[in-house]
Chains A and B, each alone.
Chain A
Amino acid sequence: MNALEVRELTKVYPEFTLDKVSFFVKQGHISGLIGRNGAGKSTTIKGILRLINAEGSVSVFGKDFLKEEMVVKQTIGYVGGGFRYYPMNTLAAIRKAYAPFYPTWNQSKYEKFLSQFELIESKKVKELSEGMKVKFALALALSHGAKLLIMDEPTSGLDPLSREEFCDIILQLVREEGVSVLFSTHITSDLMRIADDIVYISQGKILAACPLKELLCKYKLAHFSSLADASAVNAIGVKAVKKGYEGLLPRDMQISESIAVTDATIDNIIVHLEKENEEKKHVKSN
Chain B
Amino acid sequence: MLNLIKKEIALCMHPTAFIFLFFAVLVFVPNYPYEVIFFFSCLSIFFCCMMTRENGDIAFSCALPVKKEHIPFAKMLVVFGLQCIILFLVGVIAAIKGAVLPAEQYVNQAGISANLVLVGNGAILLGTFNLIFFPRYFKNPDKIGVPFVIGAIVVFFVIGVFIVLRWVTPLYSTTLNGLNSENTGAKSVALAIGIVIYAVLSAVSCKLSIKNFQRVDL
Contact = CB atoms under 8 A, between A and B. Distances in A.
Nearest to A77: B63
Contacts of B10: 93, 96-97
B218 interface: yes
Interface in A78-95: 78, 80, 84-89, 93-94
A93 B56 contact: no
A94 B65 contact: no
Contact of A86 (B55, B62, B65, B218): B55
Contact residues on B (Cβ < 8 Å of other chain), bracket: 20 to 34
Interface in B187-218: 214-215, 217-218
Contact of A100 (B3, B55, B67): B3
B57 interface: yes
B217 A86 contact: no
Nearest to B3: A100
Contact of A51 (B214, B215, B217): B217
B57 A86 contact: yes
A53 interface: yes
B217 A52 contact: yes
A69 B63 contact: no
A209 to B, nearest CB: 24
Given A73-B66, A101-B64, 14 more contacts: A46-B217, A50-B68, A52-B217, A69-B65, A70-B67, A73-B64, A78-B63, A84-B56, A86-B56, A97-B7, A97-B11, A100-B6, A101-B65, A102-B65
18 contacts: A46-B218, A49-B62, A51-B217, A53-B214, A53-B215, A69-B65, A73-B63, A73-B66, A84-B56, A85-B56, A86-B11, A86-B60, A87-B55, A88-B55, A97-B10, A97-B11, A98-B64, A100-B6
